[in-house]
């Protein structure tokens, strides 16, 4: 008999359930008596011993269901070695529960912080297989993460919907897309939605360049403009600051987000009317798109095969159209950033899209 734990950690996304379903269905095919335990609310459940035995019926009908049936939470990796308020050693607690539950493996679905802790557990002797979950698509070792395409679809729909009102009123609209550190989501949604300006964390912007791009459109007789702005977009001025200086500056920033600051600066420089739209957590919600359902099912089935073959310590990635195992130690702690010199950026600029640089 195999005893497998499932754990979802960090921000939720549309294909967590679909991916767990892929793992479970494949395991049930190979091991009719397999026991699958849902570790509740992410690493919190592994630390404090909260879990429940899942039945095969729990995985029925969840292919199209967003969120996660076992809950999630954010447990920062940097705090994992710090005892909790009662002095509990979190790492030792996780290892103890792993042993107490007599698990053969934990399947961990999550993003960058989740993979750091998963690798820590691997180093501490736990059998781990991970799956790349994030709407940001920023996990190293995989071309695509599940949840990304669904979020692109939602952000693109937001930009599409803005076009008609922007055109009707002759306004500048800013659509703020999720992404603090990387801009894959904003880049893809911006291109797909026909944004005129795309601002990414990896390409610091010059507000004067943005103003010139908008004025150029006005001279060409175009009555409106749309900016797709990553929530982590940063000016060249701020990018030159130290982390300490930037933190202090942002502490005194009167604007609720970068988009509102950019909007005010655009109005001051161009006189154009600006409106801000923030889709926010809608980008994480709802049913997964068909593409994500396929990717999730494939990744889940491949993870199950690793468990069957007892090949632990890997993330299941997607490269060049194929599912591949990637050593966990090669993944943890690395971010897949947008390269400012990449072909997709050059092609977008060829379309006339400004990146404010």
Q: Is 136 a catalytic residue?
A: yes
Q: What are phi and psi of 182, to 5 degrees?
A: -130, 160
Strand order in the sheet with 225-230: 197-199, 225-230, 172-177, 274-277
According to the 3-state scheme, what is the secondary structure of 232-295? CCCEHHHHCCCHHHHHHHHHCCCCCCHHHHHHHHHHHHHCCCEEEECCHHHHHCCCCCHHHHHH
Give the tokens for residue 246. Answer: 């930037």
Distance separating alpha carbons of residues 357 and 346, to the nearest angstrom: 13
Q: What is the DSSP secondary structure assignment for residue 70, as one 8-state letter?
A: T
Query: Judging by DSSP bridges, how do beta strands 197-199 and 172-177 pair with one another?
Result: unpaired
Distance separating alpha carbons of residues 168 and 133, to the nearest angstrom: 38
CB 258 within 8 A of CB 265: no
Q: What angle do CA 190, 191, 192 make, to 5 degrees?
A: 95
* Catalytic one of 12, 58, 136, 138: 136
Q: What is the DSSP secondary structure assignment for residue 205, as one 8-state letter?
A: B
Strand order in the sheet with 3-8: 51-54, 35-39, 3-8, 105-110, 128-132, 314-319, 322-327
Distance separating alpha carbons of residues 338 and 24, to the nearest angstrom: 34
Active site residues: 136
């Amino acid at each position: 008999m195999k005893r497998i734990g499932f754990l979802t950690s960090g921000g939720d996304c549309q294909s967590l359930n679909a991916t767990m379903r892929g793992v479970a269905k494949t395991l049930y095919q190979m091991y009719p008596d397999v026991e699958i335990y849902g570790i509740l609310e992410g690493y919190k459940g592994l630390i404090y011993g909260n879990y429940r035995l899942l039945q095969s019926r729990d995985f029925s009908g969840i292919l199209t269901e967003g969120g996660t049936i076992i809950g999630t939470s954010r447990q920062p990796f940097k705090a994992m070695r710090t005892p909790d308020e009662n002095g509990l050693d979190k790492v030792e607690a996780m290892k103890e529960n792993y042993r107490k539950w007599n698990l053969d493996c934990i399947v961990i679905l999550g993003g960058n912080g989740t993979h750091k802790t998963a690798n820590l557990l691997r180093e501490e002797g736990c059998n781990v297989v991970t799956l790349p979950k994030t709407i940001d698509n920023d996990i190293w070792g995989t071309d695509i993460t599940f949840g990304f395409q669904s979020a692109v679809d939602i952000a693109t729909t937001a930009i599409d919907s803005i076009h008609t009102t922007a055109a009707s009123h002759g306004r500048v609209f800013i659509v703020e897309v999720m992404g603090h550190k990387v801009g894959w989501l904003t880049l893809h949604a911006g291109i797909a939605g026909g944004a005129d300006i795309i601002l990414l964390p990896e390409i610091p912007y010059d507000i004067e360049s943005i103003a010139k791009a908008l004025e150029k459109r006005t001279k060409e007789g175009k009555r409106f403009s749309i900016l797709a702005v990553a929530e982590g977009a940063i000016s060249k001025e701020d990018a030159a600051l130290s982390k300490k200086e930037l933190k202090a500056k942002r502490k005194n920033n009167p604007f609720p987000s970068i988009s509102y600051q950019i909007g005010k600066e655009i109005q001051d420089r161009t006189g154009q009317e600006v409106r801000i739209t923030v889709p926010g957590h809608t980008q994480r919600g709802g049913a997964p798109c068909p593409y994500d359902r396929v990717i999730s099912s494939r990744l889940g089935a491949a993870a199950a095969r690793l468990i069957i073959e007892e090949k632990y310590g890997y993330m299941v990635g997607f490269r060049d159209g194929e599912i591949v195992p990637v050593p966990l130690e090669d993944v943890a702690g690395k971010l897949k950033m947008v390269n400012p010199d990449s072909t997709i950026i050059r092609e977008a600029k060829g379309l006339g899209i400004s990146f404010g640089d």
